[in-house]
Structure 1
Amino acid sequence: MCGAVMLAKCGPRVMHHWAHEGQRDCDPWWENETEWHREWKNHFPVSCREVSHTAPDGEIHRADIKTPTGIYIEVQHSSMTDAERISRETFYQNLVWVIDGRSFRDNFDLYHMLPDPKSKMAADLVWYPAQRGMNGASDGVFWRWSENPDAIQGTGSMVLVHPLRDIHREVMANYHGHQQYDWVRPRKTWLSAGCPVYVDFGDDWLFRLEQYGESNLRCVFRVAKRKFLHDVMVETRSIDIATRFHPIGTTAFGSRTDCHE
């Protein structure tokens, strides 16, 4: 794409590849590719990987993955500045981030389930933020708008507090994948992202970073990787991934059949 000289790297230890001659790369957003990075790209057809685009100023960028429906997926292992994140989101727009969470898994605590924020039940509940070391809130503590009219009027009165166990069955019946979490020493740029961010801890699930309903309560939305791989190939907008039901079938996770059904 850039017209520079390339060298064939065909040694006995590293995967054979082409590289620029000298220490350079034509894409300033490029980073060294890890095995985790390659595994993610290998879930998609070759035509979807390393798709190049030229910006109006002539700068070349290669998206890790671009699906046939126009969704871009950037698979990110290393840390990133706010400026670089914003520049990529502005450039690609219809973008999804998948970030490697294995290095901070011990600092990422998943807590109690939350009812679907669109449910009638959720509209009446106010949850206390979960946090490492706060066993009460982390097990689930809430109060109800309907029981505390003074709170509605903003008088600052005391509220009647309940533990999650009082409504556990109702929460389970209205659970669609939302959970409270606490991220100790978070990579803050991802909390401010303008495009959906999915954290991959190396198993069969992804966790999309969200805010719960109209509150400032941070939560994650649990999505099966198999569901994610299917939806990015059929949805046209990144924000629609894992928002509706699609029959996927019974083939193994990660196979290309899953992506195209």
Structure 2
Amino acid sequence: MQYALLNGERKEAVKGETGICVGCKQKVIAKCGAVKIHHWAHVSLSQCDSWWESETLWHREWKEGFAPEFREVSFYDETSQEFHRADIHTSNGITIELQNSAINTDELQSRERFYPKLIWIVNGLKFKGFKVVKSIPNPLDPLLQHYEFCISEHLSLMRTKDILTEKSPPEILTFYHEELNNIPFSTAFYSFSWRNPHQSWLNASCPIFIDLGGHFLYRLRKRHQISSNYSYLQLVSKKDFIKKYSGR
């Protein structure tokens, strides 16, 4: 954790000090070594947030983009008697969860139920076999309304009418085809491949932004189709994202 109560005030870790967790009110000790980022650590996690994961430099750098009062905001649900600490919770009611490790579907869905307006930022550098492949047309372009994207690394489409009439097999079209060669490509949308996809992320209900390092995020998008939903990426500036949600 970045913050704990020290002499009744919310403070960052100070070497040699002992504080109190803002959420569970249990004892925490300052960890201020030369290798890991300075943080507060619980003596025992048994009564604290069950969704806790180790604080990394990646977490801290994201938190630093937001005002201190938006970081590590605690919530308690009296009905379920659950206590959880949001990584970031802004003045407009948006909760941003920073996820550096794998997450199972049950926990993901629990978090999405707990936080009414949740956005995920996921460290995509931890994804095995994940690769941004190529720019594509905007999948929601009206010119594509009568086509469906094939689920393939090769950019291709099928006519929706062929699927509805159960034409077997549907004709596979590329953007060199005369029906499609006038459709513009976009530098804002990309296809991707994922050798071992985490199904929990593909089935999430809340917005997901994948951080692959650098100045941009990739928002995981889904185009609903008759044959099979098509997942793709939308490029988003980190600077614009932080500006939009930080209020700065």
TM range (shorter): 0.7 to 0.9
Structure 1 unaligned residues grouped into runs of 5+: 132-137, 234-258
Instruction: Note the aligned Cα RMSD (angstroms).
Output: 2.4
Asked if structure 1 preserves the Cα contact closer than 8 Å seen for 2:97 and 2:120, the reply is yes
Equivalent in the alignment of 2:191: 180
Equivalent residue, structure 1, for 2:213: 202
Does the aligned pair in 2 maintain the 1:48–1:67 contact within 8 Å? yes
TM-score (norm 1): 0.75
Partner of 2:27: 5
Identity over aligned pairs, percent:
33
Query: How far apart are 1:7 and its partner, in Å?
Result: 2.7
Query: What is the CA-CA distance between 1:15 and the residue it aligns to?
Result: 3.7
Residue 206 of structure 1, CA deviation: 1.3
Counterpart for residue 152 of structure 2 = 130
- Asked whether 1:229 is paired with 2:237, we answer no
Cα 1:14–1:199 change in 2 (3 A) is closer
Larger RCO (CA within 8 A; separation ≥ 6): 1
1:45 aligns with 2:56: no
- Cα distance, 1:158 vs structure 2: 4.9
SS in 1 for 2:74: strand
Give the Cα separation in 2 of the matches to 1:184 and 1:32: 26
Taking structure 1 as reference, are residues 12 and 25 closer, same or farther at Cα in structure 2, changes over 3 Å only?
A: farther
Name the SS for the 2:220 alignment partner. strand
| Residue type of the alignment partner of 1:80 | I
Q: Give the Cα–Cα distance (whole angstroms) in 1 for the partners of residues 68 and 173 of structure 2.
A: 53
Flag the 1:128–1:55 CA change in 2: closer, same or farther, 3 A. Answer: same
Q: Is the alpha carbon distance of 1:187 and 1:87 closer, same or farther for their aligned partners in structure 2, counting shifts above 3 Å? A: same
Determine the structure 1 residue equivalent to 2:118. 95
The CA distance in 1 between the partners of 2:171 and 2:25, in whole Å, is 68
In the superposition, relative to structure 1, how do residues 64 and 152 fare at CA in structure 2: closer, same or farther (>3 Å)?
closer
Q: Could you tell me whether the CA contact under 8 Å between 1:115 and 1:122 is conserved in 2?
A: no
Instruction: Name the TM-score, length of structure 2 as normaliser.
Output: 0.78
Distance 2:82 2:170 in 1: 56
Residue 91 of structure 2 corresponds to residue 68 of structure 1 = yes
Q: Does 1:170 align with 2:183?
A: yes
Query: Which deviations, in whole Å up to 9, do the C-alpha atoms of 1:189-236 show, x marking residues without a partner?
Result: 111111111111112221122222445112122212122212224xxx
